[in-house]
Structure formats: C-alpha cells, structure tokens
Structure 1
C-alpha cells in the first residue's frame, strides 16, 4: 500500500464518496469543484493507493428481515501468536460476524454479529467453542436499538494539523 500525501481536494473527494458513494464521476467532480478529468485521475490514484478500498450500499436491515445484532467481547485462552492466528482465521469463515477488531487492553477482540435470532447466535458461539479456536470466554451484548451508525469518518478531525508558525 502506497502512502500518499492528501490535499484538501483529496479529502473532499473521500468525504463526498463516504457520504454518497453512488454518484457519477461528473457529479463527484462538480461537488468537489474540479473538472471531470482531474477528478477522475485523483479518484484512480486514491483507489490504486488502497485509500479507497471498495464501494457498498448501506442497507436498512430491519426492512429486509427480522434479525438481531450482537456485540461480543472475546477473550482468548492465551496470548501466543499462533492462538491469535487460529482465532482470526476461524472468524473469517462466519458470514454472520460482520466485523472483528483486535483490541489492546482487557479483552482481546470485539466482534459484531448479525444473525436471524438469538438461537442462531448461540449456535454460532457453540460452534466456535467446539472448534477449539482459542476462545476462553465471551461476553454477549444484545443491541436493543441503533442510536448512531455512520460510515462517514470525521475527516476534518483526522486531517493532520499544520505545524504552527511562530
């Protein structure tokens, strides 16, 4: 992955796409105040560098099917590299685990699980335990309602600050 120095236009392209991923290149160029060709070139450069890793739609799942969202705090049996690798490889095989983050501090992982009901969630956990993938303990937190979900990162906050001049 290439490290790019991003300018204000690049940030504006990223912010616009993260809010409105489905738009024509002409509309994107207009929104970021560029002509089509330079905007397209910047977009290709951002994709090639791996900064833009994909495009997807936000789906309102409650309108599609009944489901339950669960956060799981996972603790492994030990902290050997092999155990982490086995656990992470196992997690990849479950479509219901939509996100998994390795953590520093008390717990080892935070998982986001979306499945049709609590029974299917428990079957997933039982399967993980039966596969002996290093899971020692887990703590289940059922989502009762989404309060805020935003795929849009706070680009203004993440932007490196300019060095102050004396």
Structure 2
C-alpha cells in the first residue's frame, strides 16, 4: 500500500495524523509543496479512502472514563449462528471503542471504557453477558497506558 504513495503523500499522511486541523497552506509548507498540489493530493487521498476521516482525539480520563477493559468473548457453538446479532449488539454499545474478530480460543476482543469498575460491572451483567450466543467473557482491566497512538507508520 505504501508503495503506491510517493514521499510527499507519506509526509502529508504523517503530518495529518499529528494534526488534522492544519490548513492546506500550513500542511503544504510542512511537506515542501505549494498549496494547490498539496490540496489535490489530500483530495485524492480522501477520495481513495486512504484518509478515512478527520477527527478530534479526546483524552478519555479528562472526561471521566477512567477504566479501560479488554474483554475476550467466546461464543457458543450455537452462538456462531448469532454472529451478526452479536456484531450489531456491540455496535450499539458506546462503551465498546474497538472490536476485533479473533482466531483462537476466543472469538472477539473488545476494548471498552467506562467511568469506573462498577460501571463496567453493570455493562458486563446487564448488557454484554445477555447478548445471545455469548458463552464466556474474559475481562482484563488495564492499570496504566504505556503507549496509545492512532498514527500509522507511513
């Protein structure tokens, strides 16, 4: 994929991952282009879906989401028939920030944030464990965050 990108496009992606609020003029200056060619490249990267969206990253702790949990979910053999239902159910939970399908002992890995462990317990018993087909949930609470980034190595 990165073979399809020239050095300017890589620089554009790196800069926008650091600060998506840059104006085209600021971005162009940082990557060594004039504004028009820079803007055209950004437009192409967006059109091709390489730049999926531009967002503000919020510090979860500063808004009171102090607990981060990684939950490994195993569906029952019969639960696999409920795969779409499980996928829809977790998509409805704002506390679930990321969800991955796994190969191995567990079927899914979820990254979940809540205000505290009591809020996670309520989510666990009231919502997650009641999704049809869920056989087992193995929860691991993160004590501290060593590295967290959304920047891809381009």
- TM-score after normalising by structure 1: 0.83
Say if 2:32 is the partner of 1:33: yes
Question: Which residue number in structure 2 is paired with residue 145 of structure 1?
Answer: 144
Task: Give 5+ residue unaligned stretches, structure 2.
Answer: none
**Mapping of 1:5-84 within 5 angstroms?**
5-65=4-64, 67-78=66-77, 82-84=81-83
Q: How far does residue 80 in structure 1 lie from its aligned partner after superposition?
A: 7.2
Mapped to 2, the partners of 1:41 and 1:121 lie a distance apart of 45
Say if 2:138 is the partner of 1:135: no
Q: How far does residue 136 in structure 1 lie from its aligned partner after superposition?
A: 1.0
Question: Which residue number in structure 1 is paired with residue 95 of structure 2?
Answer: 96
Mapped to 2, the partners of 1:53 and 1:79 lie a distance apart of 35
Say which structure, 1 or 2, has more relative contact order (CA 8 Å, 6+ apart): 2
What's the Cα RMSD here?
1.9
Q: What is the DSSP-based 3-state SS (H/G/I as helix, E as strand, rest coil) of the residue aligned with 1:57? A: coil
Mapped to 2, the partners of 1:38 and 1:47 lie a distance apart of 14
Tell whether the 8 Å contact from 1:76 to 1:108 is kept in structure 2 after alignment: yes
Q: How far does residue 104 in structure 1 lie from its aligned partner after superposition?
A: 2.0
Q: How far does residue 113 in structure 1 lie from its aligned partner after superposition?
A: 0.5
Mapped to 1, the partners of 2:80 and 2:60 lie a distance apart of 36
Q: What is the DSSP-based 3-state SS (H/G/I as helix, E as strand, rest coil) of the residue aligned with 1:100? A: strand
Deviations 1:71-120 (A, max 9, x none): 11111112876422111111100000011111222321110101112122
Tell whether the 8 Å contact from 2:17 to 2:150 is kept in structure 1 after alignment: yes
Structure 2 vs 1, CA of residues 66 and 82 (structure 1 numbering), >3 Å: closer, same or farther?
A: closer
Mapped to 2, the partners of 1:25 and 1:79 lie a distance apart of 53
- TM-score after normalising by structure 2: 0.89
Q: How far does residue 47 in structure 1 lie from its aligned partner after superposition?
A: 0.7
Task: Give 5+ residue unaligned stretches, structure 1.
Answer: 156-166
Tell whether the 8 Å contact from 2:74 to 2:136 is kept in structure 1 after alignment: yes
Identify, as 1 or 2, the structure richer in helix: 2
Mapped to 1, the partners of 2:146 and 2:33 lie a distance apart of 36
Tell whether the 8 Å contact from 2:129 to 2:137 is kept in structure 1 after alignment: no
